[in-house]
Copies of this chain bind each other. A is one copy, B any other.
Amino acid sequence: MIDNTRRAGTATASAPAGIGNIGVGFDLLGHTITGPADRATVRRIDEPVVRITAITGDAAGFDRLPLEAGLNTAGRALIELRERHGLAHGFELALHKGIPLGSGLGGSAASCVAALVAANALLDAPITRDQLYPLALVGEAAASGSPAGDNVAPMLLGGVVLSTPVRVIALAAPRLYCAAVHPDYVLETRRAREALTAPYPLADFVRQSGHLALFLTGLARGDLELVAEGLRDVLVEPRRAPLIPGFAAVREAALAHGALGASISGAGPTVFGWFADRGHADTAARAMQEGFARSGLRSEAWVSPVAGPRAELVD
């Protein structure tokens, strides 16, 4: 689908927060949630450059983000858009951060996707969301050094998305709900990545792959029993959980209140659970917050359909 064009002037787009990995699909699966979002306002300029004019926001720490376009996920993606599509003109970009930094909710991806969707609307010949994906991957790599699409892909397409380096596929999403709880705790992505560097025995892969296969089959068939059987991360979560104070209690709170499964969103420290209905998700979200509170951590919680929104132009 081609977004509406606004060939000159300015466009603003909003991109939602996302749950990366969905526990069982490391670097491959993600979905968006209603709740926090990043906003990008892009102005088409005659100069052949990309320039970030401002980063503002509700999110703590936004003033630490790089204003140098090549080092910023959104700036880097627009540079790639100019280069790959041979644009003569440039862009000025202002970001407003609504997604907490370092939360595991895909804030850097959301800025990147919002900027691309806004800039695309200013092109003489706008491109499709699928065509924005490789550009978003390049932008995302500016933050993480890794080209995983598990956050940018669902922000581009909405809902639950499978992404590989060359392919995005929107998956069927049964009418499930997600509770995401973000503790007020700084977990550096670098530390979260380092926890995964030691190699893995094949048996762990087989177990995790089996869960992934059940999860995907469950989603495709709308079979919640299969989804629940599959929604278990035996590969990454055991290594990252010790980095998140209270994780075990929070996960257990989710399961005790009906979660089909619960795990870490992205690199953490946000913990999410999937639920068959909004009532269970609401109750569980409060219990999950109490879990963090017992570790002395304040937290924010959001409840959202798993089939969350995609990035959109805003007026």
Contacts of A202 in B (CB 8 A): 26, 196-197, 199-200, 235-236
A220: Cβ under 8 A from any B Cβ: yes
A217: Cβ under 8 A from any B Cβ: yes
Are A28 and B171 in touch, CB under 8 angstroms?
no
Residue of B nearest to A148 (CB): B206
Mark out the residues of chain A between 236 and 287 whose CB falls within 8 Å of any chain B CB in the assembled complex.
236
A162: Cβ under 8 A from any B Cβ: yes
Are A27 and B206 in touch, CB under 8 angstroms?
yes
Contacts of A28 in B (CB 8 A): 206, 209-210, 213
Main secondary structure, interface of A, reads mixed
Contacts of A86 in B (CB 8 A): none
A295: Cβ under 8 A from any B Cβ: no
Select one of B162, B171, B213 contacting A162, CB under 8 A. B213
Interface size on A, residues (CB 8 A): 35
Bound-state CA distance A25–B216 (Å) is 14
Select one of B165, B212, B226 contacting A212, CB under 8 A. B212
Bound-state CA distance A199–B205 (Å) is 10
Would you mind naming 24 contact pairs between A and B with Cβ atoms under 8 Å apart? A28-B209, A28-B210, A28-B213, A148-B206, A162-B213, A164-B210, A164-B211, A164-B214, A167-B214, A167-B229, A169-B214, A169-B217, A198-B199, A199-B200, A199-B202, A200-B201, A200-B202, A202-B235, A205-B208, A208-B209, A212-B212, A212-B213, A216-B217, A217-B220
**New contact pairs (6) apart from A167-B214, A200-B205, A220-B220, CB-CB < 8 Å:** A28-B206, A162-B213, A164-B211, A171-B217, A200-B202, A216-B217
